[in-house]
Structure 1
Amino acid sequence: MLGTILLVLLILMLIGAVPAWPYSRNWGYAPGGFVVVLLIVLVLALSTGHI
């Protein structure tokens, strides 16, 4: 159950990190980088059985 919720939140964060609006185009790779770090932490937690 918790894994499904985390997966949905991760997908929403990936969609939100896409610089699709004019004011967010100059943000660079920062939002996507944070999402990738969270994805790595989530995969490690799932693989070790913490979640």
Structure 2
Amino acid sequence: MLGTILLIVLILLLIGAFPAWPHSRSWGYAPSGTVGIVVIVVLILVVMGQI
């Protein structure tokens, strides 16, 4: 249950960090890339049963 909630929150962060809005265009892909890596790690841990 906790893993599912954590995964949903991280996916929302990934969508929010995507550089598509005018205030975040100068950030590049660093925020979404970092959150994307965290989402992948959490997804792997959920699949392996660690979370």
TM-score, normalised to structure 2, is 0.76
The corresponding residue for 1:26 is 26
Unaligned runs of 5+ in 2: none
> Deviations along 1:9-36, whole A, 9 cap, x unmatched?
0221022112233221011110111111
Unaligned runs of 5+ in 1: none
| Larger CA deviation: 25-34 vs 9-18 | 9-18
RMSD: 1.4
Q: Which runs of 4+ in 1 moved over 4 A?
A: none
Number of residues of Structure 1 aligned to a counterpart in Structure 2: 51
